[in-house]
Structure formats: structure tokens, C-alpha cells
């Protein structure tokens, strides 16, 4: 059994928890009990319905003031604490407006939720600076904010991704971009492969789980044979992950791609965190660092599947 520990053992504990639910799993699976914060709003309603139809075990939702009612044939609660007490929920997905989203994250952590997936984009940085240490102290994993979520194909979709794109298989995906997560999954499928778990870590300046931490989860998952790592300009997440991969022995093949190859210095491209602030923040520099650390780099998203097939020695 492969175990690991970082950030005070937070992600290690989540990994162990899922070992007991399935032969092995990363973050979410068919046994995850999911609540939706912001359940009765338009976004929460739409995506909750999609998750339910996918087969995710959505056990209810939270909308203050609407507790005691039913929505999408699921119970609505006034608080996360009440939802956890009544349903045994262990996972939450958040569709709460930016001004209130950090409080929603902390409420979930306080109630004992262990996997928190924040879809909300544009949460104020000052709010996230309060929320991040708060959840760490309580042994939670936060994915996002500003992310597409997490999917274990055929088991659970806790996010906004189109589920039909993701075919079951043994390739893990870690991505800062939602649309590139979907593109990578499609390219992997076209190469005759499939996905074990895809983790969209989010593109805001402060996020709960870094590229390295998500890659580490997949490196230690026996159901994952190889990893697609998608990054973008700005920050050092990809370089940190690439160096960690080399330091730990390149245990599994990794295919990398960096978005924003034509971005000029100082220009934000797409995500709030995607801005070139130094020489190592450019796409070219990140691609070079990836190659130096044994990662196969795809020059375009259309090459991800073929590059992965090459890495595994299979015919795409």
C-alpha cells in the first residue's frame, strides 16, 4: 500500500479514507456523499441535476432560509452542519457568489466536510487568505476555487465538466484550465486510453491544492498509470511539480502542456492567476523546466493523446 504525507498529512488522510471505499480512489468515488452549497440557485440547480444524472451520490444541499424543503427531490438544509448531521455528507461542491464563497468554504470545513470543491470564480484574495489556513487546520482538502471540479469516470462527477467526454481508464489529469481538462480527456480517449481521475485545480491566484499536490495524489494511486499535467503562464506550480516528479524518481510517465505560449509579459491571459511576473513564468520557460525533469511536453492540446500513447508505448 502506497501512502504519503504533506501539508500536515491532510491529503494523506483523504487518500486513506478513499482506500477504504474502493480498491483505490482519488478524492471522489461512487461512495462519496455530496452536498451542494448554493443548491437552489440557477448554477447550483443546473449542475446538481447533471451530477445526479451522472450517478453522483448527491444527498442534499444547503440554502440558508430554505431548510426543510425539497429541491430536485433532495432535502435542503439551512446549514452545512445540519446537512452533515442528517446525511453523513463528506464532500461539498460550492456554487456561492464570490463575496460569500470563502465563508461557505470555512463553514464546510467547520462542519467536518473533508473534500471541498469550490467552483466559484473571483473570490477576493483577502478572503481566500483567511480561508486557506482555516481549512488546513481542520484537515480538509480544497479543490479550487475557479475550477471545473473532480471526476472519477463512471463513479462520481463533482463539478461542471461534461461527463460524457471522460472515458474510464488509467490516465490521471491535473489541470489549471477547465476547457483544457475536457480537451485532454477527449485526446486521451481518441488515443484509445481513458481517465482514472481528472482534477481541475483552479485558476485563481490563491487555490487550495497545487499542481504538485494533485500530481502526488495520482502518483500514489495504483489505478493511475500515467499523468497529464496541464498548466499555464504565471506562478511556479508547474515548475514545483516537475522538480518533485524528478526528485521522486519519475515513477510514472507524465505528459505536460502549457497554455499561453503567445502571452506577452505583464498581460493576464484567462485566469486571474495567469500573468507572467518573472523569467520562469513564461510558457517557454515552464516547458523547458518540464523537459529538464523528464516530462514529455506536447506543443499543442491536439498532441496530448498521441504523446501519452507514445509515452506508454501503445499505438494511438
Enumerate residues 6+ apart whose C-beta is below 8 A from 137: none
Q: Which helix (H) or strand (E) segment is 196 a member of?
A: strand 195-200
Within-domain flag for 151:
no
Pick 316 or 282 by higher pLDDT: 282
Same domain, 136 and 179: no
The model's pTM is 0.89
The CATH number assigned to the domain holding 40 equals 3.40.50.720
> Exposure pattern of 173-189 as b/e (b: 16+ CB <10 Å)?
bbbbbbebbbbbbbbbb
Same domain, 138 and 165: no
Stretch 221-225: mean pLDDT, rounded? 96
Give the residue ranges of DSSP H helices in 163-270: 178-190, 211-219, 237-247
Within-domain flag for 183:
yes
Q: Of 143, 172, 198, which residue constitutes the final position of a domain? A: 143
Same domain, 83 and 186: no
Stretch 66-71: mean pLDDT, rounded? 98
Burial label for 24, CB within 10 Å (0-12, 13-18, 19+), is middle
Same domain, 227 and 107: no
Q: Is the pLDDT score of 75 beyond 90?
A: yes
Q: Which three cell numbers stand for residue 178?
A: 477547465
Are residues 246 and 212 in contact, defined by beta-carbon separation less than 8 angstroms?
Answer: no
- Neighbouring CB atoms inside 10 A of 94's CB total 27
Same domain, 131 and 256: no
Domain ranges, residue 241: 161-312
Q: Of 143, 171, 195, which residue constitutes the final position of a domain? A: 143
> Omega into 258 within 30° of 0, i.e. cis?
no
* Confidence tier at 210 by pLDDT (50, 70, 90): very high
Within-domain flag for 19:
no
* Confidence tier at 123 by pLDDT (50, 70, 90): very high
Q: Of 101, 116, 143, which residue constitutes the final position of a domain? A: 143
Q: Is the pLDDT score of 102 beyond 90?
A: yes
Same domain, 166 and 82: no
Within-domain flag for 169:
yes
Annotated active-site positions, please? 271
* Confidence tier at 4 by pLDDT (50, 70, 90): very low
Give the residue ranges of DSSP H helices in the chain: 10-19, 42-54, 80-87, 98-110, 125-137, 178-190, 211-219, 237-247, 283-292, 304-312
Same domain, 129 and 188: no
Within-domain flag for 150:
no
Same domain, 48 and 92: yes
Within-domain flag for 117:
yes
Same domain, 262 and 301: yes
Dump pLDDT digits (tens) for 27-38. Answer: 999 999 999 999
Q: Which helix (H) or strand (E) segment is 64 a member of?
A: none
* Confidence tier at 7 by pLDDT (50, 70, 90): very low
Same domain, 57 and 169: no
Lowest mean pLDDT among 94-98, 159-163, 232-236, 246-250: 232-236
Within-domain flag for 18:
no
| Total structural domains within the chain | 2
C-alpha separations of 307 from 166, 197, 236, 292 in Å: 18, 19, 24, 17
Same domain, 133 and 181: no
* Confidence tier at 18 by pLDDT (50, 70, 90): very low
The CATH number assigned to the domain holding 192 equals 3.40.50.261
Q: Is the pLDDT score of 114 beyond 80?
A: yes
Same domain, 181 and 237: yes
Q: Is the pLDDT score of 15 beyond 80?
A: no
> Exposure pattern of 110-140 as b/e (b: 16+ CB <10 Å)?
bbbbbbbbbbbbebeeebbeebbebbbebbb
The candidate with the shortest Cα–Cα distance to 274, out of 179, 145, 177, is 177
In the chain, % of residues over pLDDT 70? 85
Q: Is the pLDDT score of 22 beyond 50?
A: no
Q: Is the pLDDT score of 156 beyond 90?
A: yes
In this predicted structure, what is the pLDDT of residue 283? 85
In this predicted structure, what is the pLDDT of residue 113? 98
The candidate with the shortest Cα–Cα distance to 187, out of 269, 86, 302, is 302
Burial label for 217, CB within 10 Å (0-12, 13-18, 19+), is buried
Amino acid at each position: 500500500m502506497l501512502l504519503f504525507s504533506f501539508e500536515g498529512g491532510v491529503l494523506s488522510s483523504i487518500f486513506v479514507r478513499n482506500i477504504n471505499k474502493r480498491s483505490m480512489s482519488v478524492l471522489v468515488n461512487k461512495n462519496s456523499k455530496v452536498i451542494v452549497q448554493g443548491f437552489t440557485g440557477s448554477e447550483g440547480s443546473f449542475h446538481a441535476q447533471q451530477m445526479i444524472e451522472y450517478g453522483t451520490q448527491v444527498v442534499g444541499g444547503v440554502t440558508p432560509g430554505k431548510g426543510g424543503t425539497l429541491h430536485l427531490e433532495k432535502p435542503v438544509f439551512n446549514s452545512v452542519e445540519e446537512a452533515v448531521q442528517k446525511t453523513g455528507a463528506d464532500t461539498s461542491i460550492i456554487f456561492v457568489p464570490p463575496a460569500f464563497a470563502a465563508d461557505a468554504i470555512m463553514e464546510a470545513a467547520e462542519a467536518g466536510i473533508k473534500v471541498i470543491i469550490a467552483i466559484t470564480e473571483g473570490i477576493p484574495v483577502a478572503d481566500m487568505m483567511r480561508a486557506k489556513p482555516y481549512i488546513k487546520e481542520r484537515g480538509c482538502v480544497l479543490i479550487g476555487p475557479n475550477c471545473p471540479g473532480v471526476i472519477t469516470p463512471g463513479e462520481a462527477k463533482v463539478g461542471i465538466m461534461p461527463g460524457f467526454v471522460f472515458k474510464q481508464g488509467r490516465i490521471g489529469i491535473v489541470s489549471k484550465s477547465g476547457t483544457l481538462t475536457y480537451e485532454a480527456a477527449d485526446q486521451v480517449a481518441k488515443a484509445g486510453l481513458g481517465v482514472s481521475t481528472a482534477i481541475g485545480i483552479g485558476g485563481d491566484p490563491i487555490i487550495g491544492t497545487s499542481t504538485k499536490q494533485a500530481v502526488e495524489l495520482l502518483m500514489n494511486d495504483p489505478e493511475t498509470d500515467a499523468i497529464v499535467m496541464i498548466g499555464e503562464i504565471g506562478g511556479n506550480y508547474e515548475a514545483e511539480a516537475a522538480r518533485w516528479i524528478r526528485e521522486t524518481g519519475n515513477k510514472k510517465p507524465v505528459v505536460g502542456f502549457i497554455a499561453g505560449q503567445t502571452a506577452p509579459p505583464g498581460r493576464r491571459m484567462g485566469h486571474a492567476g495567469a500573468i507572467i511576473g518573472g523569467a520562469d513564468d513564461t510558457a517557454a520557460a515552464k516547458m523547458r523546466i518540464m523537459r529538464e525533469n523528464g516530462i514529455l511536453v506536447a506543443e499543442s492540446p491536439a498532441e496530448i493523446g498521441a504523446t501519452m500513447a507514445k509515452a506508454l508505448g501503445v499505438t494511438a
